[in-house]
Amino acid sequence: MSQSPNRGPRVAALVASAVLAVFGLTLLAGGGALLYGDARKDDSGYLNTSRERFATNTRALATENLDVDLAGLEELAGDGVLGKVRLDVAPAGDKPVFVGVARSDDVDHYLRGSAHTTVADVDSSPFRADYRDHAGSKRLAPPAGETFWTDSVEGAGAQKLDWKVADGDWSVVVMNADGSPRVDASVKAGASVPFLNEAGWIVGGLGLLTLVLASGLLYAGVRRPAQRPEEPNPLAPRPVVSS
């Protein structure tokens, strides 16, 4: 039995329609997620984590090395297009708190020989922080007096540090402002991502466009081809017309 000459293209159209439909729905969901994230920003335009407690009996809490690779986007970061990171740190007691961001090499040199703690890993659900303690006896000078900090804040009560993301290896440090041991503070991190709204509409729009294209291919695959009129057979007997 011979297959219809239109069967191959129709099957190809149906397969392409299914692939495009999945891709379009993925884009649509991604666009919705971006718009949802933009809607959850606070009044300052930051998308925040929950506030969690970090504590140590040593003189400093520091993150492990944060390797930021902007892959050629340094100019955009300098213009603020990539946004900023905000750290909202509230001390548990009355002691003034210090929060600073600096190159990891400078932080390592400053903390070397002192009793300090590195935050090795953080799980968000449920929250759990893994710490790595480093022994030492060196007394640390008050951190605000050091000149290597890229951005820093200190004071009594909650402090907010805004850091413009830049390429390189970085560490975040939380200390008592006088450099004394027993650091105890709650921390909330946020990011201002200015392009979330625009990216959400663009990605969602591409998803809708892809779904429209998928619908067109689906229609092309399921519609019946138009029947061509049969050509007369020249060998068939002619009907007799009575006069």
pLDDT at 77: 47
Backbone angles phi, psi at 127, to 5 degrees: -70, 135
Same domain (yes/no): 132, 214: no
pLDDT at 98: 96
Total number of domains in the chain: 2
pLDDT at 137: 92
Whether this prediction's pTM lies above 0.85 is answered by no
Same domain (yes/no): 55, 32: no
pLDDT at 194: 67
Of the residues 193, 210, 238, the one at which a domain ends: 193
Any residues with CB less than 8 A from the CB of 240 and at least 6 apart, and which?
none
Same domain (yes/no): 213, 125: no
Query: d(Cα 70, Cα 165) in Å, to the nearest integer?
Result: 9
Same domain (yes/no): 189, 96: yes
pLDDT at 66: 86
Any residues with CB less than 8 A from the CB of 234 and at least 6 apart, and which?
none
Query: d(Cα 47, Cα 192) in Å, to the nearest integer?
Result: 6
pLDDT at 176: 95
Same domain (yes/no): 135, 154: yes
Q: How many CB atoms sit inside 10 A of residue 8's CB?
A: 10
pLDDT at 25: 81
Of the residues 178, 193, 208, the one at which a domain ends: 193
Domain ranges, residue 101: 43-193
Same domain (yes/no): 20, 48: no
With a cut of 50, list the residues of the chain below it in pLDDT: 1-2, 74, 76-79
pLDDT digits (tens, 9 = 90+) for 99-157: 999 999 999 999 999 999 999 887 777 778 889 999 999 999 899 999 999 999 999 99
